[in-house]
Amino acid sequence: MPDQILITGIRGTGHHGVFAEERRDGQEFIVDVALGVGLRRSASSDDLADTVDYGIVASDIHALITGEPHDLIETLAEDIASACLRHAAVESVTVTVHKPQAPITVPFDDVAVRITRSRPDA
């Protein structure tokens, strides 16, 4: 199992959803990622070039949350996973997309989807 860099609670207003009011009004989405990254080399070198810049990853994720809308948060999660895997040091990623204001008619705390993806060569 690779080491992990965890980024939790990335927040942004997005317009994802199948209902017109979700697309029109938007709502907050929250994303957590666990990046599978070998950290031995960067721990020894103390050099950012030997790891992943989690500030850039977080900005990439925020741009996807606030960017082009999708009907399903499953699609948003897939796009986020793909963006994370474009960083050379990332071998695998687990993405959780939270939709705490989902249009559900009963009391609830959260709706979330979680996916795990890896590089084909990892």
Cα(16)–Cα(107) distance, rounded to whole angstroms? 21
pTM here is: 0.95
Cβ atoms of residues 68 and 104 within 8 Å:
no
Cα(54)–Cα(45) distance, rounded to whole angstroms? 17
Q: Read off the CATH number of the domain in which 56 is found.
A: 3.30.1130.10
**Would you give the DSSP letter of residue 26?**
-
Domain that holds residue 30: 4-118
Could you tell me the mean pLDDT of each successive run of 10 residues in the chain, 122 residues long?
A: 92 97 97 97 95 97 98 98 97 98 96 95 66
Domain count, the chain: 1
Cα(101)–Cα(103) distance, rounded to whole angstroms? 6
Catalytic residue ranges: 99
| C-alpha neighbours within 13 Å on the C-beta side of residue 65 | 22
